[in-house]
């Protein structure tokens, strides 16, 4: 059964074949969606173009989400190509590497502004630019992480940004609700992606994740893709403003001890 047959989707944030955005794009394609892709910079094109070809994507556009003119340009191109879109995915986050180690209180003003702009405001900017062409009953979604709710070593300003992003989801859900457009977020467990590589100690975090999470399994981009299909489909038509955890249950733990890992 293909849950997204006839749907048109645009996925922002594909960087390579290990991206969460790619896991989502693949799952959408497998469920019958016509998928367009967007990537952040020219250096990524050689990685992303073969992926677009793999899912027969006819819409591939570069977009700096820190630039309102580029966002408007991609929205106009999407209107000409798709007419309307049913699904928009924001899988974008960035902070300077120096802000993702050491103490949070050492975050620079410039670094704080950059993380909030790229990781948070860009979702609002995309939602605003694409609002005229999102179909009634459509779905918007973004990616977050449990560091928004709990202090995670070295996640620092990105944790603060993800908390703001989750708040944005709730306000956008209220705004888009009258048009029956849903806005949700997926909070994925630690996955070894290009973005995660910038967080100090992430390898150790991922290796411990499978030992401590209730399901004793790491999470993959394909797992997130499957959850995204649900949020994009009519199966979730009464769900909006929510954070869906795809983390093998890690978020439910009050404390993760070595004894738990040995069970």
**Residues tagged active-site:** 145, 155
Question: From the CB of residue 132, how many other CB atoms can be counted at a distance below 10 Å?
Answer: 9
User: What's the number of CA atoms in the CB half-sphere (13 Å) around residue 63?
Assistant: 33
DSSP letter for each residue of the chain: --TTTT-EEEEE---STT-HHHHHHHHHHHTT-EEEEEES-GGGHHHHHHHHHHTT---EEE--TT-HHHHHHHHHHHHHHHSSEEEEEE------GGGGSS-GGG--HHHHHHHHIIIIIHHHHHHHHHGGGEEEEEEEEEEE-GGGTS--TTTHHHHHHHHHHHHHHHHHHHHHGGGT-EEEEEEE-----TTGGGSTTHHHHHHHHHHHSTT-----HHHHHHHHHHHHSGGGTT--S-EEEESTTGGG-S---HHHHT-
Residues 177-191 as b or e (16 or more Cβ within 10 Å = b)? eeeebbbbbbbbbbb
Residue showing tokens 């994740």: 209
């Amino acid at each position: 059964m293909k849950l997204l047959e006839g749907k048109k989707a645009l996925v922002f944030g594909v960087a390579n074949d290990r991206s969460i955005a790619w896991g989502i794009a693949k799952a959408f394609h497998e469920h019958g969606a016509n998928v367009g892709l967007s990537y952040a910079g020219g250096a990524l094109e050689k990685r992303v173009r073969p992926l677009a070809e793999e899912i027969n994507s006819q819409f591939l556009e570069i977009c700096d989400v820190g630039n309102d003119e580029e966002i408007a340009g991609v929205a106009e191109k999407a209107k000409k190509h798709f007419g309307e879109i049913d699904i928009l995915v924001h899988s974008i986050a960035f902070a300077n590497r120096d802000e993702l180690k050491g103490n949070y209180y050492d975050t620079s003003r410039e670094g704080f502004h950059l993380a909030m702009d790229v990781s948070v405001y860009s979702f609002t900017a995309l939602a605003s630019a694409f609002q005229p062409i999102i179909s009634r009953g459509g779905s918007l979604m973004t990616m977050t992480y449990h560091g928004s709710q709990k202090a995670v070593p070295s996640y620092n300003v990105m944790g603060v940004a993800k908390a703001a992003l989750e708040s944005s989801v709730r306000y956008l859900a209220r705004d888009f609700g009258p048009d029956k457009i849903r806005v949700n977020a997926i909070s994925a467990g630690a996955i070894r992606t290009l973005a995660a590589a910038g967080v100090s100690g992430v390898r150790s975090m991922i290796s411990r994740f499978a030992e401590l999470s209730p399901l004793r399994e790491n999470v993959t981009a394909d797992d997130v893709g499957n959850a995204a299909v649900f949020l994009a489909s009519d199966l979730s038509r009464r769900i909006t403003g929510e954070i869906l955890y795809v983390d093998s249950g890690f978020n439910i733990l009050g404390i993760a001890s070595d004894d738990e890992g040995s069970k």
